[in-house]
Amino acid sequence: MIANPTDILFLASAVDAGGPWDALVAFVRDWPNMWPGLWLATQDTVYMVLWATIFSVLFGLPLGVLLVTTDRGGLTPAPVVRAVLSAVVNVGRSLPFIVLMVAVLSLTRFLVGTTLGPTAAIVPLSIGAIPFFARLVETSLREVDREVVEAAHAMGTRKSTIVGKVMLPEALPGLIAGLVMTVVALISYSAMAGAIGGGGLGDLAIREGYQRFNDHYLWATVILLIVIVQAAQSLGDLVVRRLARR
């Protein structure tokens, strides 16, 4: 008989010592069975993030440029326009993504004909990322040396040319860094999109991991999301470093 409680705790921990190792072995053995579903979910996640990134650049870049050029002291000062655009951006950034997804369900159904699947998830992903990227564009453009812009303006350069040939090239490293931040945010958003049937790794984690109490799927989706984020961040950092050396 063991009278000392410390001895009882020691024996219990010794019995359970193999628990984590056994769980890891079981996870590795189960990986081949999970991989087909994980691979399809990964493709859906990349598909959603890729298209949402494209739309974020197409709409967020000009929006960010307008926020800078219409500000006081900008190329085309328009305080009222700037105030309206800034308010729209602030509203878009203030909404939690899970709320935004539900709020735009009607718009999503109107644009793509359904509210389920990766294609439908692109709509709220884009709407959530556009104001986020626009603010990052604004920040990058404000870091451009004002003297360079004023010199180009004094030479009679057209305003559109100043934006396209002076401001954007000078701010390119910051713009790429902002784009990488947007991609990372979109990967996180895409995982949340699975909560309402958006597909991708988030959807797989909820269906197979949470609802069916399968921890292996939860671990696998977390690992894959980390790998995707690290790959995007590393590639973006490499591009930014090379541009900064120019």
Tens digits of residue pLDDT in 51-101:
999 999 999 999 999 998 888 877 788 889 889 999 999 988 888 888 888
DSSP SS3 for 159: helix
Give the residue among 230, 187, 224 at the shortest CA–CA distance from 209: 224
Q: What is the pLDDT of residue 62?
A: 93
Helix axes 215-244, 172-193, angle to 10 degrees: 170
Predicted confidence (pLDDT) per residue in 119-142, tens digit: 989 999 999 999 999 999 999 988
The rounded distance, in Å, linking the Cα atoms of 183 and 216 is 26
Domain boundaries of the chain, sorted by first residue: 34-244
CATH for 34-244, among 3.40.190.10, 3.20.20.70, 1.10.3720.10, 3.40.50.1820? Answer: 1.10.3720.10
Burial 205-240 (b: 16+ CB within 10 A, else e): bbbbbeeeebebbbbbbeebbeebeeebeeebeebb
DSSP SS3 for 155: coil
**Is 165's pLDDT higher than 80?**
yes
**Is 2's pLDDT higher than 60?**
no
Q: Could you tell me the pLDDT band of residue 48, with boundaries at 50, 70 and 90?
A: very high
The rounded distance, in Å, linking the Cα atoms of 1 and 19 is 26
Average pLDDT on 209-222 reads: 82
Q: What is the pLDDT of residue 60?
A: 93
pTM of the model: 0.84
More confident residue, 68 or 156: 68
Counting residues of the chain whose pLDDT is more than 90, the rounded percentage is 27
